[in-house]
């Protein structure tokens, strides 16, 4: 197998491990680190180092080795994981990310500035000059190298006397640990001595013997292979699970047998040590732990970088039938969706031709085909759906770094992490959300002293929430800060000429001004904001995703910015309507019902079960001159809690709609969000429901302001 073929898999999996590492470091802030969190951070670094060594990425191995050494000391309780060290380790995580992302580019990875940054970070970790790079294939530890060694180093010896050790070996809580490391454990990046040292964190090794039965002659000895095993008498109050967990990182490269205290007083045959071979079966009475035999180096690479991670069933050692996943290249998935879109268009054409033929059998066959296509379409779209939690988690780092830069104490509260949406939407929403979060921290949250004066907690809160609503995904970015200052925004808008003097605006209209290009009320420019650049870009990016923004703010209480996005950008369930011979498509999820058109002449509203329903005539929007039909209909739609009607000539019905982007010439066309190709080959425009709802309500309000008796009527449902 060519190792370069699996290098992209190594990069992808390493980046996932680095995300886990960052999450663990952020969770450990403020002295909240637990043993599980520290182990998870260590595991991420250790796995990356071992995999990088298999690919010969020496600079990554050397740097991560330094990081791992410090993390190992944290595990052993020798170094405190305080906020300063967390900050340095986060910088190391960023450096590892850069090195991993450049794994396919040796020149970039070995640039002097990158190497200098690695050296500086290692110096910050150790508090001294950078140490020499760790060689690939970590050599046999000095304490284990001697053929004559028969006991562990003094640092691990029991503080008890020999007599005490002997008597305690059979006491309650005394375990016999028979351990045989596989020959490839060193080349996998493991240090056998570190696992034994870790045992002393929750117990005492009362007796220890190194087993050398597999040690070859000196001329045949390979310094990168492990030949040793251990017999340990270990006194601890811990249970079997905790002892097993100490060897978690080397489980697949060793044979481990634990003899519990109840059996320690049994006959010598019952607790006889394992042979030196790691593949020799253990005695039945010794309760062996299932293990996976060591793999050759090339097979180990394949296992570490496999595209199908397997959950190992601890009872059988075989793959579990549950939670199996397959890593698929995003480009291939996009190509699949494109082909399914073409299939939907072709199926619509076949259905139309079948109806025209009048052949009942053909119509039935095409109907079956269309049903299958719809199922395939639904399954394919589900493949693109991902949870937004991964995107939310990255903002923990943003809050951590920005709050420290500004000298504020801020916590991030997240909810709705399991909400799913199209991966393309996730990728394109990350940057706008980042700006909204940074803006909330900089502009929204007050300094701790100010918050205390106002009766608020010293620690500010930024909240991220996501949920589904009417076929859309809603993301809320809120803070408990000072809120938007209406008068200041209004004055700044007058100064900039964005509004006319004396114009009366609602709070929502005033708040919407912050999204105007170049608009800023900041009194000073900082590294984060104040130049009037950013919020207009946020709005433009959200609009490009067929989404919408709204702001709700109360001065002194806080601000919430709501982002509403479509679940997918590829294929939707549509509802076709017509104006004359032209066909238009409405997203089916936005439609509540269809009713017959009836309204008072000259009014843009009607009564719907006793409530007023504002509407907009689609004929007026597109200046349609086709003859009026004998009867028109109203399609009742809802968006962001507001309801309105769209008057159309004809209702056609549901259809699967493949979204095609508009050409550059039509991108500024109002009330249109995209296009689609019908089964006839004709083009249908997809209507922008949010904008149509806004126009309908705005038109109705304008009429209401001119008629005193209509002012009190509710304009939204």
Return the number of other C-beta atoms located less than 10 Å from residue 323's C-beta: 8
Judge whether residue 462 has pLDDT over 90: yes
CA–CA dist 487, 698 (Å, integer): 23
Q: How confident is the model at residue 215 (pLDDT cuts 50, 70, 90)?
A: confident
Same domain, 161 and 273: yes
pLDDT at 463: 95
Q: Are 606 and 599 in contact (CB under 8 A)?
A: yes
Number of H helices and number of E strands within the chain? 21, 21
| Residue 580 and residue 587 in contact, taking contact as beta carbons nearer than 8 Å | no
Residues 628 and 551 in one domain: no
Domain shared by 394 and 346, yes or no = no
Specify whether the backbone of 704 is left (phi greater than 0), alpha (psi in -120 to 50) or beta: alpha
Q: Is residue 553 part of a domain?
A: yes
Contacts of 266 (CB under 8 A, 6+ apart): 285
For residue 514, the domain's CATH number is: 3.30.565.10
pLDDT, average across residues 662-680: 78
The answer to whether the beta carbons of residues 307 and 316 sit under 8 Å apart is no
Asked whether residue 633 carries a pLDDT value surpassing 90, the answer given is yes
Residue 24 lies in a domain: yes
Q: What is the pLDDT of residue 657?
A: 85
Q: What domain count does the chain have?
A: 5
For residues 175 and 243, is the Cβ–Cβ distance under 8 A?
yes
User: Domain check: are 146 and 286 in the same one?
Assistant: yes
Tell how strand 582-587 and strand 683-687 pair up.
parallel
Tell me: do 430 and 542 sit in the same domain: yes
The mean-pLDDT minimum among 100-109, 154-163, 197-206, 681-690 falls in 154-163
Hey, how many other C-beta atoms are within 10 angstroms of the C-beta on 454?
Answer: 11
Question: If DSSP codes are grouped into helix, strand and coil, which group holds residue 65?
Answer: helix
Helices (H), 253-329: 297-304
Find the mean pLDDT for residues 17-21.
91
Could you tell me the CATH number of the domain that includes residue 19? Answer: 1.20.120.160
Tell me if 318 is assigned to some domain.
Answer: no
Residue 609 has pLDDT above 80, yes or no: yes
Pair 461, 586 in one domain = no
Q: Do 347 and 420 fall into the same domain?
A: no
Domain that holds residue 552: 388-566
Look at residues 566, 589, 615 and tell me which one is the last residue of a structural domain. Answer: 566
The larger pLDDT score, comparing residue 326 to residue 416, is at 416
pLDDT in tens, 513-531: 888 877 776 655 555 554 3
Q: Is residue 604 part of a domain?
A: yes
Same-domain pairing of 583 and 545: no
Highest mean pLDDT among 32-36, 95-99, 223-227, 692-696: 95-99
The residue from 359, 386, 413 where one domain ends is 386
pLDDT of residue 660: 80
Is pLDDT larger for residue 69 or for residue 152? Answer: 69
Which is nearest to 331 in space by CA: 473, 427, 429? 427
pLDDT digits (tens, 9 = 90+) for 351-406: 889 988 989 999 999 999 988 988 888 888 888 888 898 888 888 888 888 888 88
Segment holding 361, helix H or strand E: helix 360-384
Percent of the chain with pLDDT strictly greater than 70: 78
Q: Which of 108, 233, 220, 221 lies closest to 168 in space, CA to CA?
A: 233
Q: What are the tokens at 522?
A: 């900041």
Q: With bands split at pLDDT 50, 70 and 90, how would you rate the model's confidence at 160? A: very low
What's this model's pTM, rounded to 2 decimal places?
0.60
- pLDDT at 478 > cutoff 90: yes
**What is the pLDDT at residue 523?**
58
Residue 331's pLDDT is what? 80
Whether residue 296 is contained in a domain is answered as no
Q: What is the overall mean pLDDT for the chain?
A: 77
Q: How confident is the model at residue 704 (pLDDT cuts 50, 70, 90)?
A: low
pLDDT of residue 703: 63
Q: Is residue 74 one of the residues assigned to a domain?
A: yes
Residue 561 shares a structural domain with residue 577? no
Higher pLDDT, 67 or 271: 67
List pLDDT tens digits, range 243-261. Answer: 888 887 777 778 888 888 7
Confidence of residue 114 (pLDDT cuts 50, 70, 90): confident
Is the pLDDT at 428 greater than 90, yes or no? no
- Do 177 and 223 share a structural domain? yes
**Considering the domain boundaries, does residue 305 fall inside one?**
no
Task: Provide mean pLDDT across the span 24-41.
Answer: 84
Q: For the residues of 672-704, what is the DSSP string, one character each?
A: EEEEEE-TTS-EEEEE-HHHHHHHHHHHHHHHH
Residue 310 included in any domain = no
Q: Coil, helix or strand for 155?
A: helix
Domain boundary among 525, 545, 566: 566
**104 and 188 co-located in one domain:** no
Q: Are residues 538 and 642 in the same domain?
A: no
What percent of the chain stands above pLDDT 90?
17
């Amino acid at each position: 197998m060519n190792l370069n073929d699996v290098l992209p898999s190594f990069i992808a999996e390493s980046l996932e491990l680095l995300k886990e590492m960052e999450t663990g470091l952020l969770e450990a802030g403020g002295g909240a680190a637990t043993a599980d969190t520290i182990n998870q951070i260590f595991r991420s670094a250790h796995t990356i180092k071992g995999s990088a060594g298999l690919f010969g990425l020496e600079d990554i191995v050397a740097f991560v080795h330094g990081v791992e050494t410090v993390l190992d000391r944290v595990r052993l309780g020798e170094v405190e994981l305080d906020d300063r060290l967390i900050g340095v380790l986060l910088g190391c995580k960023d450096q590892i990310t850069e090195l991993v992302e450049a794994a396919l580019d040796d020149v970039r990875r070995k640039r002097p500035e990158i190497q200098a940054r690695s050296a500086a970070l290692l110096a910050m970790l150790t508090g001294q000059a950078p140490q020499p790079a760790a060689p690939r294939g970590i050599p046999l530890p000095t304490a284990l190298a001697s053929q004559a060694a028969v006991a562990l180093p003094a640092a691990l010896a029991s503080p008890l006397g020999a007599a005490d050790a002997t008597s305690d070996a059979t006491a309650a809580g005394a375990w016999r640990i028979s351990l045989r490391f596989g020959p490839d454990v060193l080349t996998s990046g493991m240090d056998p001595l570190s696992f034994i040292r870790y045992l002393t964190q929750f117990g005492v090794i009362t007796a220890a013997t190194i087993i050398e039965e597999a040690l070859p002659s000196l001329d045949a000895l390979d310094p990168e292979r492990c030949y040793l095993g251990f017999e340990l008498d270990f006194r601890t109050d811990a249970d079997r699970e905790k002892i097993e967990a100490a060897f978690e990182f080397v489980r697949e490269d060793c044979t481990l047998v634990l003899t519990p205290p109840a059996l320690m007083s049994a006959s010598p045959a019952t607790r006889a040590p394992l042979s030196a071979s790691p593949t020799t079966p253990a005695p039945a009475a010794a309760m062996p732990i299932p293990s996976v035999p060591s793999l050759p180096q090339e097979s180990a690479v394949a296992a570490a970088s496999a595209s199908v991670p397997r959950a190992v069933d601890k009872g059988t050692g075989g793959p579990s039938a549950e939670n199996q996943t397959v890593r698929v290249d995003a480009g291939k998935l996009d190509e699949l969706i494109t082909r399914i879109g073409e299939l939907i268009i072709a199926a619509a054409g076949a259905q139309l031709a079948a109806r025209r033929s009048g052949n009942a059998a053909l119509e039935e066959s095409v109907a079956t085909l269309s049903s299958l296509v719809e199922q395939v379409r639904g399954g394919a779209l589900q493949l693109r759906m991902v949870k937004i939690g991964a995107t939310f988690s990255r903002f923990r780092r943003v809050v951590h770094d920005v709050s420290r830069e500004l000298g504020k104490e801020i916590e991030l509260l997240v909810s709705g992490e399991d909400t799913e949406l199209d991966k393309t939407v996730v990728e394109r929403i990350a940057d706008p959300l980042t700006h909204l979060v940074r803006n909330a921290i900089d502009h929204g949250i007050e300094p701790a002293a100010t918050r205390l004066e106002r009766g608020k907690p010293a620690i500010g809160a930024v909240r991220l929430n996501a949920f589904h609503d009417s076929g859309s995904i809603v993301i809320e970015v809120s803070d408990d800060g000072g809120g938007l200052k209406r008068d200041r925004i209004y004055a700044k808008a007058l100064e900039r000429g964005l509004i006319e003097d004396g114009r009366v605006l609602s709070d929502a209209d005033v708040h919407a001004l912050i999204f105007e290009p170049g608009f800023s009320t900041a009194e000073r420019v900082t590294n984060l904001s104040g130049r009037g650049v950013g919020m207009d870009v946020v709005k433009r990016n959200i609009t490009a995703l067929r989404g919408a923004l709204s702001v709700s703010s109360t001065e002194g209480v806080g601000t919430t910015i709501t982002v509403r996005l479509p679940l997918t950008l590829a294929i939707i369930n549509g509802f076709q309507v017509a104006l004359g011979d032209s066909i238009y498509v409405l997203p089916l999820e936005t439609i509540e019902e269809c009713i017959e058109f009836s309204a008072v002449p000259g009014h843009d509203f009607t009564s719907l079960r006793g409530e007023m329903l504002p509407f907009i005539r689609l004929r007026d929007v597109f200046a349609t001159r086709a003859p009026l039909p004998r009867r028109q209909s109203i399609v009742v739609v809802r968006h962001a809690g507001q309801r309105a009607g769209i008057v159309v000539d004809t209702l056609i019905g549901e259809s699967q709609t493949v979204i095609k982007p508009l050409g550059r010439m039509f991108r500024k066309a109002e009330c249109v969000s995209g296009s689609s190709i019908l089964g006839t080959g004709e083009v249908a425009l997809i209507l922008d429901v949010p904008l149509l709802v806004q126009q309908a309500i705005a038109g109705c309000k304008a009429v209401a302001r001119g008629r005193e008796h209509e002012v009190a009527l509710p304009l939204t449902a």
